[in-house]
Amino acid sequence: MILRSATRPVAHAMSPIICTVDIVLLTLQRGMLHVALLKRDHAPFAGVLALPGGYVHAAEDADARDAAERTLREKTGIVSPYLEQLATFSGLARDPRGWSLSVTYYALVPDDVIAAANRPEVVLVAIDKLRGLPFDHQQIIATAVQRVRDKSAYSSLPVYLCGKCFTLPQLQSVYEAILGEPINKVSFRRKIDELDILEPIEGALEAGKAHRPAQMYRLKPRYGQHLSLTNRALNARS
Amino acid sequence: MILRSATRPVAHAMSPIICTVDIVLLTLQRGMLHVALLKRDHAPFAGVLALPGGYVHAAEDADARDAAERTLREKTGIVSPYLEQLATFSGLARDPRGWSLSVTYYALVPDDVIAAANRPEVVLVAIDKLRGLPFDHQQIIATAVQRVRDKSAYSSLPVYLCGKCFTLPQLQSVYEAILGEPINKVSFRRKIDELDILEPIEGALEAGKAHRPAQMYRLKPRYGQHLSLTNRALNARS
DNA sequence: ACAATAGTGTCTCTTAGACAATATCGA
DNA sequence: TCGATATTGTCTAAGAGACACTATTGT
């Protein structure tokens, strides 16, 4: 027993590994993907804009997802219906405090949810205007954006960027903003129809524009949390 | 400073989080996916077959991937050309020792690589014959298999299950074993041709069979590590 | 010669994209 | 009525799967 513990001591006695979660909260503003950032309270990088994140609290969090939900709620006041694990970033190099490990998650919300949370300290920055982020947050965000683009081509993921109700032309422009290219209108409607996730809101039309009003739709109740997948991409290019 | 440390002490002082890596090493035997397991040396679950895994050693591992490569090499003698992060599993419930976090990776190797490592303690178990695995290893393996199936439909991933050279019919049967259904021969060859990752080995034919011999191929040198992706799935079903 | 599988040509059917016709609003 | 965009129908082209034909081995 003494011998064994001398050759391989248990990890938590020997390794002060810093365990954190970071959340990439994405939304769409003026047709551009934006990420929510906050000024850091403490060193290192105090005052610098960074991803909302924090330590895993083993005493209160059931698991890392719990820690991510709690951190997002505490730091931004938002509870996101869609929150998925992205990847884990780790190593000695990424944090000056020492060997660290961050389990990262990404979330998509319509931008009125961010407005409703009413936290002026939450800053939305366009994903192509990011500068001087601390740690490896730039890489984490790039990974999240890539994941969202890849998934969007094959799934209903972008509906989480829309509000409770929306028109098909609105949804199409959300897809186009994410994929970064125009989508054929007829093909798009065929795909959405195949996904079978939307239902028209009886009698609700988008009024006020100087043209034929569009039908409003909402997500079918059973698709509140999980995605629907297509067999083929919406658009072959990427 | 005292006040801050009282309200939020740093994580590694307050939280004995167990940081580990686990590797899902997959191979194909007799047309079935198998996973490499080892009998655990120590408690908990001493003597039970489990995934190769171990503590992250902050002092020697540059990051979690490094820890995974080291652990795989130490426990199985194998260095896998393809090793990718799968997901991170965490929480209080998964390990009786306490709140733990495992960054998991998956690797694909041809089964002769496992034989060449000559480690009789490495046991290959068919993925549909797994029983009584400790921790959440069953779920980790299920996640890995699902990931491999999803990726295989759109990429050259299965070539890592073949040896250095192979025929197109052999490669097709590997794809079929993973996807779990027959693939149209003409479509398959069109896809592989599009991927543009293989080159014929001049004059090398698979001899010995009572029929026309097949041309042998190898992966083009530059595709040693990374995948090639298709726009459309090999097979629409899943 | 025969059985068996490799490798290739070609036809058909499905599906994505182009185009266009119709519908319905505000001005 | 006109301008604008929503919605739907239909044609065309690209790609996937079916089928079949030729090629080449061992027996």
Q: Do B15 and A87 touch (CB under 8 A)?
A: no
**Range(s) of chain B covered by CATH 3.90.79.10:** 13-151
> Is the CB of A39 less than 7 A from some atom of nucleic acid strand C?
no
- Report the run of H or E that residue A32 belongs to, with start and end: strand A32-39
The nt closest to B235 (CA vs C1′) is D16
Residue pLDDT, tens place only, B69-88: 999 999 999 999 999 999 99
Residue-wise DSSP of B2-61: HHHHHHS--HHHH---EEEEEEEEEEEETTEEEEEEEE-SSSSSTTSEE-SEEE--TTT-
**Which range (A65-69, A105-109, B224-228) has the least confidence?**
B224-228
Q: Where in chain B is the domain with CATH 1.10.10.10?
A: 154-219
A203 touches strand C (CB under 7 A): no
Amino acid at A209: K
Percent share of chain B, pLDDT over 90: 82
Q: How far apart are CA A70 and CA A74, in angstroms?
A: 6
- Round to a whole number and report the distance in Å from the CA of B51 to the C1' of C10: 50
A40-84 confidence digits (pLDDT tens): 999 999 999 999 999 999 999 999 999 999 999 999 999 999 999
More confident of the two residues B32 and A230: B32
CA distance A169 to chain B (A): 25
DSSP state of A12: H
Check: pTM over 0.85? Answer yes or no: yes
Does nucleic acid strand D have an atom less than 7 angstroms from the CB of A214?
Answer: yes
Residues in contact with B156: Cβ distance below 8 Å, sequence separation at least 6, in sequence order: B195, B197, B223, B227, B228, B229
Fold type of domain B154-219: Arc Repressor Mutant, subunit A (1.10.10)
Task: Using the C1' atom of nucleotide D27, identify the protein residue whose alpha carbon is closest.
Answer: B210
| Chain A residue with minimum CA distance to B18 | A12
Strand C reaches within 7 A of the B213 CB: yes
In B92-148, the DSSP E strands lie at 100-108, 123-126
- Sign of the CA dihedral B166, B167, B170, B171? positive
Check residue B15 and give its pLDDT: 54
B32: amino acid identity, one letter: M
CA distance B213 to A113: 64
- Does domain B13-151 bear CATH number 3.60.21.10? no
**Ranges of H-type helices in chain A:** 2-7, 11-14, 64-76, 111-117, 137-152, 168-179, 185-195
A→B interface, C-beta within 8 Å: 4, 8, 10-12, 14-20, 42, 55-59, 62-64, 66, 85, 87-88, 90-93, 98-99, 101, 103, 231-233, 236-238
Per DSSP bridges, beta strands B18-29 and B100-108 are parallel
Query: Do the Cβ atoms of B10 and A19 come within 8 Å?
Result: no
- Which candidate from A57, A64, A231 shows the least CB-CB separation from B88? A64
Cβ within 8 Å, pair A231-B233 = yes
CB distance B101–A101 less than 8 Å? yes
State the average pLDDT over residues B42-70: 97
Kindly report, residue by residue over A158-184, the tens digit of the pLDDT.
Answer: 999 999 999 999 999 999 999 999 999
Give dist(CA B98, CA B238) in Å, integer. Answer: 38
Q: Which residues of chain B have a Cβ shorter than 8 Å from any chain A Cβ?
A: 4, 8, 10-12, 14-20, 42, 55-59, 62-64, 66, 85, 87-88, 90-93, 98-99, 101, 103, 231-233, 236-238
CA of A206 to C1' of D2 (A): 21
Q: What is the pLDDT of residue A232?
A: 76
Give the mean model confidence (pLDDT) for residues A192-209.
91
Q: Quick count: other Cβ atoms within 10 Å of Cβ A86?
A: 24
Tokens representing residue B147 in the block: 């990931």
pLDDT of residue A235: 59
Is nucleic acid strand D under 7 Å from A165's C-beta?
A: no
Phi-psi region of B18 (alpha: psi -120 to 50; beta: other; left: phi over 0): beta
Contact call for B90 and A233, based on CB within 8 A: no
